[in-house]
Amino acid sequence: MSDELGTQITNTKNSAHVSSITEKFDKTFGRPPTFIASAPGRVNLIGEHTDYNDGYVFPVAIDKYINIAVRQRSDRRVVTHALDVNESWDFSLDTLTSIPAQAPAWSRYLIGVAALLQESGKKVAGIDAVITGDVPIAAGLSSSAALSVAATLAFLTAGSESEVPISEQDKTKLAALCQRVEHEFAGVKCGIMDQTISLLGQEDCGLFLDCRSLAYEHVPFYLANHAIAICNTKVKRELAASEYNKRRAECERGVEILSRWLPGITSLRDITLADFKKHEEELPTLTQKRCRYVIEENTRVVEAVSALKCTDKVTSHLPDESLIAFGHLMNASHNGLRDDYQVSCMELDLLTDIARNITGVAGSRMTGAGFGGCTVSIVHKDALEAFQAHVTTEYHEKTGIQPEIYLCRVSDGAQVFWS
C-alpha cells in the first residue's frame, strides 16, 4: 500500500480492518486487491420512523464499517467471498433478471446493486471481491445499507478503472439507488436515511436530512467530553419487518382520514402539532397514537438541531446546556416510541432506564426499527467506566443476557482506498 493510502486509512480509524481484508483477499485469490471500498454503519440520534413519513432525521456515521476488497476481472463474472459468514457466491452480470433461491441473503445486495447500476446506464465490470466488516448484523446500525453502499462504490470504481471523485449530488442519487436495492431485492420498504448518511457522513457532524426534498445540512456534533455509547440488547428483531409495514400503513391511514379536514396533505410531515390536536379525535385510537408520535418526533428533530447550533464556533465545543437539551429530546423520543408508536420492547426499555439513572448520561433512546437491536446514549467520558459496568451488570441480572457495548466516534462517509 502506498504511503498516501496508509495516511487515508489512519484518518478513517479503519486501518486494522483494511489491512486484514487485504491479506485475506491475497490468500483467497492469490494476488492483492486493487482497492478497498469502505462504507460506515450509522446510528440515528433522533428522528426514528419519520423517514418514510417524509419527515426529518438526524443520524451520524459511526466508525464501524463494511469493507469490500476488489480486483477487476477480464470477464463478466462477479466472484465474492463473505469472510464473516464464510460463504461464497458468484454470478454473471449478464443474467441478473432473477435471483436463485439458494443465493445467500448478503449476495442479494451485490446482485441488486449491479443490476440497478446497469439499468441506469453505468459501466459495470466483473470483479473478485472479499467482504468483511464490524457493523453488527441485525442490530439496527444499518449493516445492509453499508453493504449496499460499499458494493456500489466497488462496482463503480472497477467500472471506471481509476479513482473518480463522486460529487455530493451524485451521492444522493446513489443513495436512492441503494434504497431501491432494499425495496426490490431485499423486500424491505425502508426510507432513504441509512444509505444517505453512509454516503454523506462527515467526521464530527450529524446529518440533518429532510426525507422529502432530500435537502440536508451537516451540523457540527463535536463531542469533546462525551462519547456515543451503543448498547446491543442481543435480542433478534423478529417482529421488526412485519410491524414496520403495519406502522407505515397506520400512518398512511391517518393521512387519508385527516385530509378530510386538512386538504392538500400528502404525509404526516404536512401536519402541525396544533392542527393534529384539533382533529386527533377523528382518528381511531391506534392510528391516533401512531400519528401523534411521528408529528411530535419531527418537532423534536428540529428542536434538537437548533440546540446543536449553539456550538462555539471558535472551539467547536458544544455547551453543556445544549447537550442537556439534546439529551432530554432523546429521552422524549424513546418515550414516544415506547408508548405511542409501540416499537420498543422490554429489553430496550430496560437499557434506557439503566442508562438514564447513571450520572453523566445526557440522554438515551432506542435506535433503529425496534423490537430489539440497540439503544444509543450520550455519555460523559468520566462516566464511561461506570456506564459500562452498570449496564452490563444490571442488564445481565434482569435478562440473563450479556449485552454488547460499542463506544463510537462520529465518522466520515463511504470512501475508496487504492493500493
Domains of the chain: 3-220+411-418 (3.30.230.10), 226-408 (3.30.70.890)
Q: Is the pLDDT of residue 396 over 50?
A: yes
Are the beta carbons of 104 and 85 closer than 8 angstroms? yes
- CA-wise closest residue to 160 among 110, 122, 112: 122
Query: Which is more confident, 232 or 368?
Result: 232
179 within 8 A of 29, measured Cβ to Cβ: no
- Average pLDDT score over residue span 108-128: 95
The whole-angstrom distance between residue 320's C-alpha and the CA centroid of its chain comes to 27
CA distance 117 to 399: 45
Our separate counts of H helices and E strands in the chain read 12, 12
User: What was the pLDDT predicted at 309?
Assistant: 86
6-15, 125-134, 154-163: segment of lowest average pLDDT: 6-15
**Could you tell me which residues come within 8 angstroms of residue 393 by beta carbon, excluding any fewer than 6 positions away?**
none
Of how many residues is the chain composed?
A: 419
Residues classed as catalytic = 194
The 10 Å Cβ neighbour count of residue 403 is 22
In the chain, the percentage of residues whose pLDDT exceeds 90 is 78
Q: For residue 7, what are the contacts with CB-CB under 8 A and spacing of at least 6?
A: none
CB 151 within 8 A of CB 68: yes
Grid coordinates of 275: 392542527
Residue 318 has what DSSP assignment?
A: P
The grid coordinates listed for 5 are 493510502
**What is the spatial distance between Cα 311 and Cα 301, in angstroms, rounded to a whole number?**
17
Side chain identity at residue 411, one-letter code: S
Question: What's the whole-number mean pLDDT along residues 248-258?
Answer: 96
CA pair distance 347, 139, nearest whole angstrom: 13
Q: What is the mean pLDDT of residues 172-198?
A: 91
As a whole number, mean pLDDT of residues 369-380 equals 93
Among 108-122, 180-194, 366-380, 387-401, which is the least confidently predicted range? Answer: 180-194
* pTM given for the model: 0.90
CA pair distance 413, 408, nearest whole angstrom: 14
Q: Which amino acid is at 167?
A: S
pLDDT of residue 314: 61
Residues 6+ apart with CB under 8 A from 170: none
Q: Count CB atoms within 10 A of the CB of residue 142.
A: 30
Q: Residue 372, Cβ neighbours under 10 Å: how many?
A: 23
User: Alpha-carbon distance 338 to 355, whole Å?
Assistant: 16
For Cα atoms 266, 176, 130, give the angle at the middle one, nearest 5 degrees.
150
In whole angstroms, how far apart are CA 99 and each of 96, 106, 161, 262, 361?
7, 12, 27, 44, 46
The answer, yes or no, to whether residue 197 has pLDDT greater than 60, is yes
Identify residue 330 by its one-letter amino acid code: M
4 by Cβ neighbours in 10 Å (0-12 / 13-18 / 19+) ranks as exposed
Mean pLDDT score of the chain:
91
What's the confidence (pLDDT) of residue 6? 32
Buried b (16+ CB within 10 A) or exposed e, 209-231: bebeeeebeebbbbbeebbbbbb
pLDDT bin (cut points 50, 70, 90) of residue 67 is: very high
